Amino acid sequence: MRTADLYIRVSTDEQADKGYSQRNQEEVLQKYCEINRITVRKVIFEDHSAKTFLRPEWTKLLALLRKQRGKTDLVLFTKWDRFSRNAPDAYQMINTLKILGVEPQAVEQPLDISVPENKIMLAIYLTTPEVENDRRSLNVFYGMRRARKEGRWMASAPIGYVNRTLENGFKRIVLFEPQASILKSAFEEVSKGIYSVEQIWKKAKESGLTCNKNNFWLAIRNPVYCGKIVIPKYKEEESYVVKGVHEALISERLFYEMQESLDGRKRNLQGIKIVSNDMLPLRGFIYCPDCNRVLSGSASKGKKQYYHYYHCLSACGYRQKAEDVNQTFAHALKDFVLNPVSAELFKMVITDTYNNGSINAGESRNRLIEQITSLNNKITKARELLLQDDINGADYKSIRSDAESKINLLEAKLADIGQDIIRAKDLELLLNKAINTLTNINIIFCKSDSSIQRKIIGSIYPEKFTFEEIKLRTAKTSETFNLIYLINSKLHAKKNWINDQNLTLSSWVFLNGFEPLSSEPESDMLPLHHRKI
């Protein structure tokens, strides 16, 4: 009497738990063994795909067959697709079982493998499910590609989003708070090009972002956050992007500015850390006057307390007490507190400058349209040269890719024109808040934590400085605080003189806000018509 191991397989856990297939297969196999007087040694239940033989229960069975040779004559299953859906792997496994003295057999598709002609039928039995799998996979692939072309995200939701089924039954990704807001703030920091991506990621994690560093890098390169879906390259169809049906987290302009920063086309203030000890807010901003290296900071333990120092890591050994440096900076900060008497003048100048900038929006729009048209003409000309065999396909693809990348950025800027116009009421509130900050900036600095203090430092000083420059008031400051210093020190003359200077002052005001500048600062203050806007 022969002995057999019964192999029963379904594809998923759900089929195993809720379906009837396993019980049905077992009943068929047990009845077959009873009719043919075959002793059942072991019944194996599997819930893995048959695309490969890397299945837990099959691996255990194969190890048992090798260990106990001669104990089993047959491995029985209902059909050949329960054995395998991969013809090459199936042939290899049949040979392996043959070496072990075991014959695989499908009771509903019986074949005597020792007969050469039966191998034709075996090939059909094994190839048919493989073809079925490939066709099903291809149909799913084309369906998902079609959905992507229609703007749908076809995967688990990216960071900051969550998968949802809407009332109409359509599936979408929607913004997930507070992750979305934290990620948006991080993207804005990346676009400025001031801090490294790792520092921004660490700060975002402290704020509650649940994301590892590798996924954060993938996120800042993913157009899905500006409302775009990438269609991957397939055969002769090149990769491109389409507008998604989901809500964008950031604007296209911010996304492309972020890419410019990552690609090194923006100035990066190397060495500035986004996180610093509360007693060392100036760490990373100060140069060593002896060797021109960036000063670090640390604490030394005394008998009763810790003493903090800014010090150089080189052999020069330069160091200063943190308390003295911090007090000197706080004292120098008083020069940049906006005089309340001049606040209304400052407010009037900014309002006038903003209104002038709004008028120029139309001119900016026309310039962007001209640039986009020029780039489209460049692509058309390159296509004509390709058809005339004056350039090869690789050159044409390079020209088109470069032009399309620039067009995307210009179109994003074009879409943003007019969206940043602030209503008079909102502008009034914004200016009042800004002036309140500027007239109390020294108090805000002293009462804030190190993260706010470092933002204030970066807003005033776009470049690193030395301790001596702070004491002598010679450290380079940003345009905004240059103007405040000018107002405080120069505009205390007669009222008529002040009125005569309104137009001149308005040409010195810029709309950069009070954050560190992302472009290379000018060495001297210049009138507006001498600068690139």
The DSSP line for 387-439 is HTTSS-HHHHHHHHHHHHHHHHHHHHHHHHTTTTPPPHHHHHHHHHHHHHHHH
Above 60 in pLDDT, residue 465? yes
Question: Does 408 fall in a domain?
Answer: no
Look at residue 169 in the predicted model and tell me its pLDDT. Answer: 79
Look at residue 362 in the predicted model and tell me its pLDDT. Answer: 67
Tally of domains within the chain: 2
Look at residue 456 in the predicted model and tell me its pLDDT. Answer: 85
Q: Are strands 240-243 and 228-231 parallel, antiparallel or unpaired?
A: antiparallel
More confident residue, 498 or 403: 403
Look at residue 513 in the predicted model and tell me its pLDDT. Answer: 43
Look at residue 509 in the predicted model and tell me its pLDDT. Answer: 44
Same domain, 14 and 132: yes
Question: Phi-psi bin for 235: left (phi > 0), alpha (psi -120 to 50), beta?
Answer: left
Question: Does 445 fall in a domain?
Answer: no
**What are the DSSP E strand ranges found in 23-134?**
39-46, 74-77, 103-106
Same domain, 236 and 189: yes
Residue 490: pLDDT band with limits 50, 70, 90? low
Question: Does 332 fall in a domain?
Answer: no
Given 75, 106, 136, the domain boundary residue is 136
Look at residue 417 in the predicted model and tell me its pLDDT. Answer: 65
Burial (0-12, 13-18, 19+ Cβ within 10 Å), 304: exposed
Given 218, 236, 262, the domain boundary residue is 262
Give the bridge partners for 301, in sequence order: 306
Q: What is the mean pLDDT of residues 68-94?
A: 90
Q: Which domain CATH number covers 14?
A: 3.40.50.1390
Above 60 in pLDDT, residue 17? no
Same domain, 253 and 182: yes
Report the alpha-carbon distance of residue 506 to residue 528 in Å, rounded.
8
Q: Which domain CATH number covers 192?
A: 3.90.1750.20
Above 70 in pLDDT, residue 372? yes
In terms of residue numbers, what domain contains 107?
3-136
Look at residue 13 in the predicted model and tell me its pLDDT. Answer: 57
Across 112-145, b (16+ Cβ under 10 Å) vs e yields eeeeeeeeeebeebbeebbeebeeeeeeeeeeee
pTM score, two decimals?
A: 0.51
Cβ–Cβ < 8 Å for 412, 252: yes
Same domain, 7 and 86: yes
